[in-house]
Amino acid sequence: MIWPRTRYLITKEVRTIKERIYSRYLQKTSSSGPLSEWSQLLSKMMTSEGKPEALDDMMVLDLSYANFSGNITASFFAEAGAEVIKIEPPEGDPSRIVSPYGANVKGVGIPYLMESRNKRNVALDLSNPEDRENLKLLATRADVLIETFAPGEMDEWGIGYRQLRELNPGLIYIAITPYGHYTAKGKEMAGMPWTDLTSQAESGLAALIGDLPNTPEPYNWPTRAGFYAAGYTSAVGAACGGLVASFFKRRTGEGQMVDIASADAYASCVGFPPTIGYVWKKPRFRYGTLDYGLCPYGFFKCKDSYVAIACFRDQDFRAAMRILGKWKLEGEWKTLLDRITDDIDKVQELNNEVEDAVAKYTYDEINEKFSSFSVKSARSKWRGGGLPVTTKMLTPKEVLQEKHWQIRGSFAKVEHPSYGIVTLPVTGKLSKTPLRVKWLSADIGEDNEYIFKKYGLVEKKSG
Amino acid sequence: MTEDYFGFTNKLFAPQDTDKKAEALKGLRVLDLSHMIFGPTAAKFLAQYGAEVIKVEVPNQGDYWRGGTYWGKYWKHSNPLWHFINQSKYFVAIDVKKPKGKDLILKLAEKADIVIENFTSGTVEAWGIGYSQISKINPKVIYASLSTYGQYGPKRYNPGWDLLAQGASGVLSVTGHPDTDKYFKVPDFFGDFFPGYYAAMLILIALNYRERSGEGQYLDGCQAEILMRALSHFTYHDATGNDLGRTGNSDPTMSPSGIFKTLDGKFLALAIASDKQFQSFCKALGREDLARDEKYNKAFRRLQPEHALTLNKVVEEWVKTKNAAELIELARKHRFAATEVMDDVQICNDEWRQERGSVIPFEDDMYKKLVIEGPIAMLSKTPGRTKWLSRPLGYHNRYVLKKIMGLTEDQIKELEKERVVGNWDYRVGQRPPIYHDLAKDKIFNYEGGEDH
């Protein structure tokens, strides 16, 4: 489907209620010059066709094995244009069989399929000396190598950072393991494999998700975030680290080693656990659907969906109470200080009242009420009435149907001879070198011929 | 005999030597116009690896997250959860809505390599400090606009932050127990932090490109889109026609998997990813019959909901009979993944993390000791580091305006009088800790000279 382009870019015409409120600075702008320039730039950003790729001068070896963070890190490089060669043993990377309820397309699991974008698939048997020589040949040419074997394993095979840096001093060697490649615990736990669930647990995430202490077991137990929250966080951390190293290499020619501990990357990303542990002196307990900072702040069940009620400031709270027909509560909960959520029994009272109120409306009713209130208060000079904000919880299926994402091209559909048409989320809208999905390659050894020829690798004599 | 591998790596990374090592992004200047968490996190990552980050705030108001916190708890007149997000930055307070303020910001942008903002789509353009204006005076600039719905598309003006992005992207709908009416958000602003790091990644991609081509560019960082990138649910939906929904404690991609209660009342997370791991797990369990059973020995069958459920029950009963430490030792020996569920205090006091440098008991000149997180990625030659914690609003005004902009004390006084630049008011989060002697503070009263 082709959407009219300019309609969704900046125009003088302001249509929706939301636009009227939140584009107030734009509306005041009299000179149309810069805006039309910006609008032109945005319209050119809607496609990646014919644009250069940022990292197409880089070669990346993806040796990740039974560890999704490695696959994902390599995908980011591949989306930015690097030549990424996924190397796996002839029987395949076990990540292939890690998939929700065993769902697969011709034997390949969904998460693996999703992270097979723009890669070249090569089968090498690293237990065989001839293939190790092939790997060395590749590593001599590579800018980045990503591996997820147990710390010391590659070194034992003679193809670890210690050996490869001699062959290629510019090599950036990214290792992703649960406890990292140094420290006493790293050594002790070297054999522990990666999983997303244990990474979530070890990095303090699982301890915070789940229902309140007074609810029945197992609902009040630590709970898993329902996607690879730790896996993707480690991967973005690894890519960030690798790109910092690559920037340094471009300036000095020097490579280095980048180490990611997936049992910790999540905690380092959000940063709250260590500081709270130090300042609070005691751990937080699970807060159900409540929030540690504000109340009411979360998604509440309405007639037909779940809707966000989020009150940052007192005026937002007053507005929400007025709209939801709960004005009589305002006196008791007037200021932020009254709504601090450290006294759980107390804030639950307020939360329950909001729950009851929200349950009487549909999402559209609430959205309409909130929006028209905001329009009025945005017009008032002091805006003392608050700007209540809401949105609706969407399921992945509903997200796929959103026109907004279709226009932005947030989902690529790629065809592969073995796997048919596959839907893939993609994002990285850079004006000159956008990230993009070009192809999928997920058959074991699919590109052996191409890569062997290109880099002059030697076919094994044995087997 | 060559050196033991960990002997080699311990020397290679040696956290105690960090300060002696090079900084990869040294010499790069970042103008951080962003606020709250999403934008500031991207800027923080760049600061950790050596970029000079100048954070611009509104005088007498500042970033809203200065005054935020959890449970109403403040620390030394500041939000303890603000410091690690704004470490090692320079803090100036300039009013962009005053023409002279706008000019100051444009002059700073002219000298910057990277600009980061996270206002509603179009706001910076209307203020005259957007990409179309700044790229004219600084064509090599990398300009990152970060927002919940992106810069174009019908929802571009919708406001948003962590909570709303989690709802809009589908993230919220996948966490919780399937037989309840509760959906749990991912806590601690995951929906800001993860996109923040992702945005840093995109900026670094643009930087790498600029290094080879000399060209800057514009970047539309869309928070909800970035969260969607972390879900395999869309691919799953289109491949199978089903919605995965919520799966409680277990990971539907691994079987068995879940969070279980041990004999000593602790919580243990356990997950089996590969067939090989399943074989050795069954050995530890003393149930080698399961390892031979056709229902379980291959992953795609083991993952079928009914088989996964049976296996999870077996694990639940087994875990009940053993202490957590004993189970983790078995996991280590038999090479399958199991770990205790760690809480805030355990993470803060974790010896491994302190040795690794991913939890740092930091000694700050102004705020003294605070435990903060270390860098997400450990680099052997150019490691990330923290130089100072956050600073009060407008603390570096003189330092930045004199050193970078070349203004004189009189010119700054004039700007202060006109309320173009300023600093804090009485509110918590903006002002310095009460014990801090400002009169003796050489950076706050910067006159020229030495680096900071």
* Residues with Cβ within 8 Å of residue A229, at least 6 apart in sequence: A196, A200, A205, A266, B186, B190, B194, B230
Q: What is the tens place of the pLDDT at every residue in A296-351?
A: 999 999 999 999 999 888 888 999 999 999 999 999 999 988 999 999 999 999 99
Is B151 a residue whose pLDDT tops 70?
yes
Does residue B361 sit in helix, strand or coil? strand
Rounded distance between C-alpha atoms, residue B405 and residue B398, angstroms:
10
Q: What is the tens place of the pLDDT at every residue in B199-222?
A: 999 999 999 999 999 999 999 999
Binning pLDDT at 50, 70 and 90, where does residue A1 land? very low
> Which ranges in B286-396 belong to alpha helices (H)?
288-292, 299-302, 305-320, 324-334, 344-349, 351-356
Across all residues in chain A, what is the average pLDDT?
Answer: 92
Amino acid at A140: T
For chain A, which domains are there?
59-270+409-455 (3.40.50.10540), 289-301+306-392 (3.30.1540)
Contact A408 B72 (CB under 8 A): no
**Is the preceding peptide bond at A89 cis, omega within 30 degrees of 0?**
no
- Among A42-56, A281-295, A371-385, B203-217, the range scoring the smallest mean pLDDT is A371-385
* Residue of chain B with shortest Cα separation from A223: B249
Is the model more confident about B158 or about A307? A307
pLDDT of B448 reads: 86
Rounded distance between C-alpha atoms, residue B130 and residue B122, angstroms:
8
Q: What is the tens place of the pLDDT at every residue in A220-264?
A: 999 999 999 999 999 999 999 999 999 999 999 999 999 999 999
* Residue of chain B with shortest Cα separation from A180: B356
pTM (2 d.p.): 0.97
> Which ranges in A303-423 belong to alpha helices (H)?
314-323, 344-358, 363-379, 396-401, 403-408
Indicate the fold that domain B257-261+267-340 takes in CATH.
formyl-coa transferase, domain 3 (3.30.1540)
Question: Which of A424, A138, A426 is CA-nearest to residue B202?
Answer: A426
CA distances (Å), origin A255, targets A170, A403, A416, B433: 4, 44, 36, 42
Across all residues in chain B, what is the average pLDDT?
Answer: 96
Amino acid at A394: L
Give bridge partners of residue B270 from the DSSP assignment.
Answer: B258, B338
> Which of B152, B251, B261 is nearest residue A9 as measured by Cβ atoms?
B152
pLDDT of A11 reads: 46
ipTM of the complex: 0.98
Q: What average pLDDT does range B63-74 have in this prediction?
A: 93
CB of B442 less than 8 A from some CB of A = no
Binning pLDDT at 50, 70 and 90, where does residue A376 land? confident
* Residue of chain B with shortest Cα separation from A267: B373
- CB atoms closer than 10 angstroms to residue A98: 27
DSSP A108-174: EEHHHHHT-BTEEEEE--TTSHHHHHHHHHHHHH-SEEEE-SPTTHHHHTT-SHHHHHHH-TT-EEE
* Residue of chain A with shortest Cα separation from B194: A233
Q: What average pLDDT does range B123-132 have in this prediction?
A: 94
What single DSSP character describes residue A286? P
Q: What CATH number has the domain spanning B12-229+367-440?
A: 3.40.50.10540
The radius of gyration computed from the CA coordinates of chain B, to the nearest angstrom, equals 26
Q: What average pLDDT does range A42-59 have in this prediction?
A: 96
Contact A219 B177 (CB under 8 A): yes
Q: Token pair of A257, please?
A: 């080693």
Binning pLDDT at 50, 70 and 90, where does residue A163 land? very high
Would you list the domain boundaries of chain B?
A: 12-229+367-440, 257-261+267-340
Binning pLDDT at 50, 70 and 90, where does residue B364 land? very high
Is B137 a residue whose pLDDT tops 60?
yes
Rounded distance between C-alpha atoms, residue B371 and residue B111, angstroms:
34
Is A59 a residue whose pLDDT tops 80?
yes
Question: Which of B113, B116, B134, B136 is CA-nearest to residue B125?
Answer: B134
Phi, psi angles (nearest 5°) of residue B274: -110, 165
Residues 361-380 of B with CB under 8 A from A: 361, 370-380
CB of B47 less than 8 A from some CB of A = no
Q: Token pair of B307, please?
A: 């088989």
Q: What is the tens place of the pLDDT at every residue in B252-261?
A: 999 999 999 9
Q: What average pLDDT does range A345-370 have in this prediction?
A: 95
- The answer to whether B160 and A387 are in contact (CB under 8 A) is no
- The answer to whether A199 and A266 are in contact (CB under 8 A) is yes
Is A410 a residue whose pLDDT tops 70?
yes
CB of B26 less than 8 A from some CB of A = no
Contact B125 A57 (CB under 8 A): no
Q: Token pair of A90, please?
A: 């002839």
Is A4 a residue whose pLDDT tops 50?
no
Rounded distance between C-alpha atoms, residue A202 and residue A205, angstroms:
8
Q: Which of A69, A272, A309 to mutate to test the interface with B (most CBs of B within 10 A)?
A: A272
pLDDT of B1 reads: 52
* Residue of chain B with shortest Cα separation from A42: B152
CB of B261 less than 8 A from some CB of A = yes
CA distances (Å), origin A78, targets A52, A450, B55, B208: 13, 17, 32, 14
Q: What average pLDDT does range A98-108 have in this prediction?
A: 96
Chain A neighbors of B180, CB-CB under 8 A: 219
Q: Which of A427, A435, A437, A440 to mutate to test the interface with B (most CBs of B within 10 A)?
A: A427
CA angle (A164 as vertex; A163, A166 as ends), nearest 5? 75
Is A15 a residue whose pLDDT tops 70?
no
Chain A neighbors of B371, CB-CB under 8 A: 274-275, 277-278
Question: Which of B195, B13, B146 is CA-nearest to residue A236?
Answer: B195
